[in-house]
Chain A
Amino acid sequence: MNDTRSKVITEDQAIATIESGMTIGIGGWGSRRKPMSLVRALLRSNVSDLTVVSYGGPDVGLLCAAGKVRRLIYGFVSLDSIALEPHFRAARQAGTIAEPVEYDEGMLQWGLYAGSLRLPFLPTRAGLGSGVMDVNPSLKTVKSPYADGEELLAVPAIRLDAAFVHMNRADARGNAQYLGPDLYFDDLFLGACEPGRRFVSTEKIIATEDLLKEGTFHTLRINRAMVDGVIHAPNGAHFTTCEPDYGRDEAFQKAYVDAARDADSWKAFSDRFLSGDESSYQSAVSAWRAEVAAAKEASK
């Protein structure tokens, strides 16, 4: 490793570059391979008034619960095995997200792709005729200049001030690798982001020459020109999936959902798990797992 070119930083160093009012894209999908250690660090910061762009899961829920989201660009927010995200639901039902921007899932991809290609928009049929057009009156259509003359939806480019994604492996310079079943749209989140705040957290930082030891070259979809900071974050996607390193922590996800049912239980959950730094979080999760296992043993 050539240390002079290393981009390795901590979560808190990454978050120190984020300012209130910025637009932040968060990779992963639902409750899958989410850069949760970066989200947790963002929760600990004073920034607010954010625009968040996400195929939403607990990242969106936690940021909504912390009151940091002014504008949310999303197609859904879900925990996958638990369909509805409790904090997102509560925030929407209380009307505390000032500007919800609800898109079709494919429109969100198109917006990020247009952003990453520096195009003003990309045309699609997805969204036409649907409620998405009703609730986003600023969306415009564009007429095909060719013989067909079809009227298509022009999805406006989404540009990000910061992007967070979580990868299975990365080298210190930001060449990163996913080993699971789906890249989701992580490359587009990085592509749509201004250079300077493109952050990749990773389960393991490995030597460049080891990048092909665990996966084929097809898994190298994120290269160092797309990345400004690399964060070593073992178990950093917890409690979401990070296949094949680990699956979703379903029991913990359920505890998270249960805790969201009222203010007192959520405060207790936050105090226990979210009040300290990332290593405190990981220790608290280990202690919780040991307690659950002991309780199970005792009830036998």
Chain B
Amino acid sequence: MSDSPALADVIAVACAEAWRGDGEIFASGMGVMQMLGARLARATFEPDLMVSDGEAFYVAGDLPIGGTDKTVEGWIPFRSVFDTLAGGRRHVMMGASQIDKYGNSNIANIGPWAKPKAQLLGVRGGPGNTVNNATSFFIPKHQSSVFVPVVDMVSGVGYDRAKKIGGFIAKRHDLRRVVTNLAVLDFATPDNAMRLVSVHPGVNVSDVVANTGFDLVIPSDVPVSRAPTAEEMDAIGRIDPKGLRHREIPS
């Protein structure tokens, strides 16, 4: 393609990449971009992934987001989701209203828990997800009020806290990657502090630094997030024909 890709398409691919190598597990996406990423990975380089309709069924084929004409290949009611995550056979991509250097995340509330300034969802399944199965994040607006030194409520367990628990949890604790509107980040550093992996086209490393409220690990050479392949663009078109991704990430 001669045109430069839309940012939402680069991000869809960056989300999909979170599941590379995962094989035959449940790829679970909480939100439009996360679902697109899971289905895109399955449609292209990770064909054994299981994806759900977001309600209670595993679906085969490229179900469009919001689509109802589904080929059911299994049943995954909430009870089975809990069983699957406790068994470690799942990699979920969630959202986060706050996240810190070691990946402690917050979807529960802003301000003190006892009397929050803003009550959000509550911890939901975050505590169980993060100590049981691989977890990644998509954050649509990378800014210092989200990438904070300390989160107001730990709904998802980060590396420092997991290490403190030790044993089974510390050994398997697996926060995979954080995808934002600016960059891709991960925790592949000696002490699992957050690291900049790539910046999206047109974004400078300094933009990421300026919008992050803690010190990131920044390698000497930070590549640009890759563009979608032609095959991936076809799959994105099938999975998100209405272009819902552009509403989340305007170009």
Question: A residues within 8 Å of B by Cβ?
Answer: 29, 56, 74-78, 83-84, 88-89, 92-95, 102-107, 109, 124-132, 134-135, 148, 150-151, 181-185
Q: How far is the CA of A107 from the CA of B118 in the complex (A)?
A: 24
B121–A130 touching, CB < 8 Å: no
A125–B86 touching, CB < 8 Å: yes
User: What residues of B have a CB within 8 angstroms of the CB of A105 in the complex?
Assistant: 78, 82, 124-125, 128
User: What residues of A have a CB within 8 angstroms of the CB of B78 in the complex?
Assistant: 29, 105, 182, 184-185
B55–A181 touching, CB < 8 Å: yes
Q: How far is the CA of A126 from the CA of B125 in the complex (A)?
A: 8
A106–B86 touching, CB < 8 Å: yes
User: What residues of A have a CB within 8 angstroms of the CB of B85 in the complex?
Assistant: 106
B64 within 8 A of A: no
Q: How far is the CA of A126 from the CA of B116 in the complex (A)?
A: 23
The answer to whether residues A95 and B114 also contact, given A84-B120, A181-B56 and a CB cut-off of 8 A, is yes
Interface string of B69-91 (1 = CB under 8 A from A): 00000000111001001100000
The answer to whether residues A104 and B168 also contact, given A88-B119, A93-B117, A131-B153 and a CB cut-off of 8 A, is no
Interface string of B122-162 (1 = CB under 8 A from A): 11111110111000000000000000000001111100011
B119–A185 touching, CB < 8 Å: no
A127–B116 touching, CB < 8 Å: no
4 closest pairs, A vs B, by CB?
Answer: A126-B128, A130-B127, A181-B56, A76-B122
11 of the cross-chain contacts (CB-CB < 8 Å) are: A74-B122, A78-B121, A102-B113, A105-B82, A106-B85, A129-B131, A131-B108, A132-B123, A182-B55, A182-B56, A183-B77
What residue of chain B has the Cβ atom nearest to residue A132's Cβ?
B127
The answer to whether residues A75 and B79 also contact, given A92-B119, A125-B169, A128-B131 and a CB cut-off of 8 A, is no
Most chain A beta-carbon contacts within 10 A, residue among B117, B122, B157: B122
Q: How far is the CA of A88 from the CA of B118 in the complex (A)?
A: 11
B165 within 8 A of A: yes
Question: B residues within 8 Å of A by Cβ?
Answer: 55-57, 77-79, 82, 85-86, 106, 108-109, 113-128, 130-132, 153-157, 161-162, 164-165, 167-169
Most chain B beta-carbon contacts within 10 A, residue among A88, A105, A185: A105
A129–B124 touching, CB < 8 Å: no
A182–B77 touching, CB < 8 Å: yes
Query: Given known contacts A102-B113, A185-B78, what 4 new A-B pairs fall within 8 Å (CB)?
Result: A125-B86, A130-B130, A130-B156, A151-B165
B168–A125 touching, CB < 8 Å: yes
User: What residues of B have a CB within 8 angstroms of the CB of A107 in the complex?
Assistant: 127-128
Q: How far is the CA of A184 from the CA of B77 in the complex (A)?
A: 7
User: What residues of B have a CB within 8 angstroms of the CB of A56 in the complex?
Assistant: 122
B214 to chain A, nearest CB (A): 19
B116–A130 touching, CB < 8 Å: no
What residue of chain B has the Cβ atom nearest to residue A94's Cβ?
B115
User: What residues of B have a CB within 8 angstroms of the CB of A124 in the complex?
Assistant: 86, 128
What residue of chain A has the Cβ atom nearest to residue B115's Cβ?
A95
B157–A129 touching, CB < 8 Å: yes
User: What residues of A have a CB within 8 angstroms of the CB of B155 in the complex?
Assistant: 130-131
What residue of chain A has the Cβ atom nearest to residue B80's Cβ?
A182
User: What residues of A have a CB within 8 angstroms of the CB of B106 in the complex?
Assistant: 131
User: What residues of A have a CB within 8 angstroms of the CB of B161 in the complex?
Assistant: 129-130
B128 to chain A, nearest CB (A): 3
B77–A125 touching, CB < 8 Å: no
The answer to whether residues A181 and B165 also contact, given A78-B121, A128-B131, A131-B154 and a CB cut-off of 8 A, is no
A130–B157 touching, CB < 8 Å: yes
Q: How far is the CA of A94 from the CA of B114 in the complex (A)?
A: 10
B123 contact from A94, A109, A130, A181, Cβ within 8 A: A130
B167–A150 touching, CB < 8 Å: yes
B108–A129 touching, CB < 8 Å: no
